[in-house]
Amino acid sequence: MYKDFYKKASQMADLIQEGLNQPSQRTTTRFVDQARQGLVRRREKTMQEVSADSDEGIAELIAGYISNIRQSNPAEAIEEYLEQVDRESSDRPSGTFDINDISDFAARMARAESSNISDVQIEATSSGRKQNVTGLYQFTDDRLTDYMNDTGASFTTDEFRQNVDLQNDVFAWHIADIDRVIDNNNLLDLGYDRDGLRAVAHLGGITGMLNFVRTGGQYNPSDAEPGATSPGTNLWQYYNRFSGQ
C-alpha cells in the first residue's frame, strides 16, 4: 500500500514541479481530480530519488506534494498534460479489451504456453531476475504490473492465477498493446504477419519484437534458462509457429 501511495504522490509532485506561473482559481479538489485521471501511465523521475521502502521518504514526499498544491494550482499544465494523454489514448483501446476479438490466437497461445492449464505457475528468469510466470498465457510479474499501472486494476499473483476471466482480460489488453506498437511503426508494411509479431512480442517483449524486426531476425534469443540442457524456443520459431505465412 505504501509503495502504491508513494507512486501516486510522487507522480503528482513531479507534475506540479512542471507547472506554469499562472495560478488558477480552481479548487484544490477539482485540480486533484483532473490530475488523477492522467497519472495512471506516468513514470516519474522522483521514484528513483527516494526509496520506495522508506516510510520517512514517503511522508516527506507526500507532505511536499500537498504543500505545493496549496501554494500553487497549475491547472493549465494539468489540462495540457491531460490533452497529451488523450491523444496517446486515442491510438489504443481504453478501458475495455475483448478476448473474443482474438479468440483463435488466444486459444493457440494458451495451448503453446500452458497446455490450457490456467493455474500453472513456475519461476523463471526474466529481465535479469527471478519472477513468477503465471496462468494460461504465462505472464511475468512485470507484465502484470504493466497491466495494473495502465488500467488501475489491483490484484495479487495468486488472485490472477485463480481467475481465468482476469487472465483473458490481461491477455486481450496485452495484445492490444502489442498491436498498437505494430501499427504505429507500420511493421506489417515490411511484410511481417501480425500474429507472428504478436507471438514474438509475447515471448521476447515489445522491445524484443522491435529489435527482431530492426535486425531482420538476427536478434533471435530463446527462452531457455541459463544452464538448461535444451535450447528453448527462439523468436523465429515462435514467429513461424503463429504466423499465417
170-205 tens-digit pLDDT: 999 999 999 999 999 999 999 999 999 999 999 999
Tell me: pLDDT of 34 over 60: no
Are 183 and 234 in contact by the 8 Å Cβ rule? The answer is: no
**Which carries the bigger pLDDT value, residue 87 or residue 226?**
87
The whole-model pTM stands at 0.60
Cell matching residue 15: 507534475
**In which band, very low, low, confident or very high, does the pLDDT at 1 lie, cut at 50, 70 and 90?**
very low
Q: What is the pLDDT of residues 66-75, one digit of tens each?
A: 555 545 555 5
DSSP labels for 184-209? Answer: HTTGGGGT--HHHHHHHHHHHHHHHH
**In which band, very low, low, confident or very high, does the pLDDT at 4 lie, cut at 50, 70 and 90?**
low
Tell me: pLDDT of 166 over 80: yes
**In which band, very low, low, confident or very high, does the pLDDT at 63 lie, cut at 50, 70 and 90?**
low
**Which carries the bigger pLDDT value, residue 40 or residue 3?**
3
Tell me: pLDDT of 242 over 90: yes
**Which carries the bigger pLDDT value, residue 98 or residue 165?**
165
The pLDDT value recorded for residue 100 is 86
**In which band, very low, low, confident or very high, does the pLDDT at 216 lie, cut at 50, 70 and 90?**
very high
> CA nearest 16: which of 55, 72, 60?
72
What does the alpha-carbon distance between residue 174 and residue 167 come to, in Å, rounded to a whole number? 10
Radius of gyration for the alpha carbons in the chain, expressed in angstroms and rounded: 21
User: What mean pLDDT comes out for the span 205-229?
Assistant: 81
Three-state DSSP at 20 gives: coil
Tell me: pLDDT of 60 over 90: no
Are 209 and 183 in contact by the 8 Å Cβ rule? The answer is: no
DSSP labels for 52-89? Answer: TT-HHHHHHHHHHHHHHHHH---HHHHHHHHHHHHHHH
